[in-house]
Structure 1
Amino acid sequence: MPLATTGALLTRAAETRSAVAAFNIITLEHVEAVITGAETAGTPVVLQVSENAVAFRGGRLLPLARAAVAAAERARVPVALHLDHVQSDALLRQAATAGFSSVMYDAAGLPYAENLAATRAAADWAHSQGLWIEAELGEIGGKRGGPPLDAHAPGARTDPAAARAFVADSGVDALAVAIGSTHAMTTRTAALDHDLLKRLAAALDVPLVLHGSSGLPDGELTAAVTGGITKINVGTALNIAMTGAIRDFLAAHPDAVDSRAYLGVGREAMAETVARVIRVLGTAGPGPRPRAAVDS
């Protein structure tokens, strides 16, 4: 089916008080696993390519993006493509012609005024290209002369009044908020500030995004959706599943040299993780649509 757009998926989710799961991809196995897991759960999904993933691929966006587009167009559920945590304006400007319908522009490490100016310029450009744009706001930087606090640093929190002003002045379509999650957690022990989430949901009229969701236990994930989060970003959980499955396979088959064997079990483990996360969020559907006969 044609590529879905992130904006359409999140708008519908916001209307139904549900959430869309968005998974970061690094390899073709990630792409295939996310789509397989979403098809198993019967629900739309967002494939995310981060600036770090582009750097890993030698700074080239198109090979992974084109693979993702090709796979998404054959999927039995709606799939959108999102460019994540972009700090490079040069990379940002590749999004419109590479199949992406949305970008997350990350200037959250700058002092507030600089973050706002950079994000406003990025939003103006994105909207001129028909792209939907997400930004991030943690604790406002520069307080008492100190440096900005990263939105995912321990203790970072998004102030509702500042967030309302930031969204209005920047023109972004969604906002990632700091409410207690942290990127790259390998244990599921994070706890969210649910009172703050409630106040943010009341203060803002754009979809709210939760980054660093791999570190949250199931109950925190479902409570986040109930509290008003519309997009749930997951990355590290896929890498944990893939790496663990490959380690187990190679331990059991020390003479294995065919990469298809261990990449296959890694891909399967990631697909199971995707389906599990979607079911935890409570957004699983009745199942995927059947593939057309030509999709052999």
Structure 2
Amino acid sequence: MPLVNMREMLHHAYGNGYAVGAFDLVNLDFLEGILDAAERCASPVILSLAESHFEYFDFELLLSAVEKAARNASVPVAIHLDHGESLQSAMNAINHGCNGVMVDASHRSLDDNIRTTRSVVEMAHGCGVPVEGELGYVPGVEGEDAERHPGKVSYTTTDQAIHFVETTGIDFLAVSIGTVHGRMRGEAKLDFQRLRDINQALGLPLVIHGGTGLSEDQYRQLITNGVVKINYYTALADAAGAAIRKNVEATENNAFTQLTRGVKAAVSEEAERCIRLWGSAGRATEVLTQCTPWLPVEHLIVYNVNGLDDEGVTEMMAKGRDVLSKIPGVREVATGSAVKTDAAYRYTWLVQFCHPAVIDSYRDHADHVAFADQLFRPVAGERISIDYAWIE
């Protein structure tokens, strides 16, 4: 049950003056280490998967483990797509278990950024999923030296932020005030007055990317001025790398399990340090009581057919599984037939939606309407349909 509505989670943080860590993970050691830290601290947490890391793991495979771990956790958890590259990326993430998404178009022109982000918002909100947009450009690459990817910092302005939020409908705004992705030398020079002005103008939960390497005082000032989600990866990766190097130096045993011993603990220790510093420790119970559980809806249809033989029914079902599974918010499409020959209804559809909002968006989606009107309803006159929510 502790997989919860991310919009409500971050609004709780915004109203109570703390930030939730959005920790990017790349394998099970990171997943377990981050969740262990959150549970030790009794803290809400965001498990984040960045599209720039997809070359290192199978996204859908790892995401299934992330969702399972989140539902088994004792603390409130959200699952977020970080730096998605397209509308299709966001839809794929939602359909496979993310309940928060970010598609990063900040490197494009303002008009292109608005168009891309708005299209994601329209799709995701139809699935009940909140959207993070980014305005301004934060240079660097997650987990790598920022100096290798300097780019050019483009700071967020208050006027553009107001226009961006109003025209896109985003739920959270990632701002550029001087941080960088990856490692940097020296202390970042952050424009807190700029952040303060943006926060006062928007009254909206704000996000910082490039959270590694800031001082304790800088973190506190970020949170004081509306930042409630801090993206964090590079320091976790460095802690994991240090644990591996220590093992290499300590043993001649090159077995994988020996070399990766202690990685989970190192990741967990760094995540715990951040959680306590950012003020979310001890907040789990109140967040759980004030946030809606993120539970799917099952759309069930039982029916009989007229005018189709078994082969025709099989073809119709196969077409439906292909078409309907591509609709935003559809987690799974299953079809079946009755085991007993004397059953009142012979066939069934079971379509899982990620959120109750999908009941309406699915019903009205052009692909569903076309399939239902052209292939299904003409032959399935006798049917019963029901939508039901999970109970945990």
Aligned to 1:112: 110
Aligned to 1:237: 235
Give 2:13's aligned amino acid.
A
TM-score normalized by the length of structure 2? 0.67
Q: Secondary structure at the match of 2:22?
A: strand
> What is the rounded CA distance, in whole Å, between the counterparts of 2:283 and 2:17 in structure 1?
18
> How much does 1:256 deviate?
2.0
> What is the rounded CA distance, in whole Å, between the counterparts of 1:161 and 1:129 in structure 2?
30
> How much does 1:156 deviate?
2.5
Aligned to 1:166: 164
CA distances 1:163-219 after superposition (whole Å, capped 9, x unpaired)? 011000011111000011100125562232111111011011221000000121222
> How much does 1:87 deviate?
1.1
> How much does 1:287 deviate?
8.4
> How much does 1:101 deviate?
0.7
Given that residues 188 and 214 in structure 1 are in contact (C-alpha distance below 8 angstroms), is that contact kept between their aligned partners in structure 2?
no
Moved over 3 A (4+): 152-155
**Structure 1 segment 18-167 matched on structure 2, within 5 A:** 18-57=18-57, 60-138=58-136, 153=151, 155-167=153-165
Give 1:221's aligned amino acid.
Y
- Aligned pair in 2 of structure 1 residues 69, 266: CA closer, same or farther (>3 Å)? same
> How much does 1:4 deviate?
1.8
Give the aligned length. Answer: 273
Aligned to 2:309: none
Aligned to 1:206: 204
> How much does 1:228 deviate?
1.5
Instruction: Name which of 187, 190, 193 aligns with 2:191.
Output: 193
Q: Secondary structure at the match of 1:73?
A: helix
Q: Secondary structure at the match of 2:170?
A: coil
TM-score normalized by the length of structure 1? 0.87
Aligned to 1:293: none
- Aligned pair in 2 of structure 1 residues 130, 119: CA closer, same or farther (>3 Å)? same
Whose radius of gyration is greater, 1 or 2?
A: 2
> How much does 1:154 deviate?
5.0
Aligned to 1:144: none
Give 1:31's aligned amino acid.
L
**CA RMSD across the alignment:** 1.8
> How much does 1:233 deviate?
0.7
Given that residues 101 and 131 in structure 1 are in contact (C-alpha distance below 8 angstroms), is that contact kept between their aligned partners in structure 2?
yes
Given that residues 19 and 227 in structure 2 are in contact (C-alpha distance below 8 angstroms), is that contact kept between their aligned partners in structure 1?
yes
> What is the rounded CA distance, in whole Å, between the counterparts of 2:101 and 2:121 in structure 1?
9
1:252 equivalent to 2:256? Answer: no
Given that residues 4 and 80 in structure 1 are in contact (C-alpha distance below 8 angstroms), is that contact kept between their aligned partners in structure 2?
yes
> How much does 1:105 deviate?
1.2
Given that residues 248 and 254 in structure 2 are in contact (C-alpha distance below 8 angstroms), is that contact kept between their aligned partners in structure 1?
no
Instruction: Name which of 280, 294, 297 aligns with 1:283.
Output: 280
Aligned to 1:268: 265
Q: Secondary structure at the match of 1:184?
A: strand
> How much does 1:91 deviate?
1.8
> How much does 1:97 deviate?
2.0
Structure with more of its chain in strand, by fraction? 2
Uncovered stretches (5+) of structure 2, i.e. residues with no partner: 138-149, 286-392
Q: Secondary structure at the match of 1:197?
A: helix
- Aligned pair in 2 of structure 1 residues 277, 95: CA closer, same or farther (>3 Å)? same
Q: Secondary structure at the match of 1:72?
A: helix
Given that residues 181 and 215 in structure 1 are in contact (C-alpha distance below 8 angstroms), is that contact kept between their aligned partners in structure 2?
no
Given that residues 48 and 80 in structure 2 are in contact (C-alpha distance below 8 angstroms), is that contact kept between their aligned partners in structure 1?
yes
Given that residues 188 and 217 in structure 1 are in contact (C-alpha distance below 8 angstroms), is that contact kept between their aligned partners in structure 2?
no
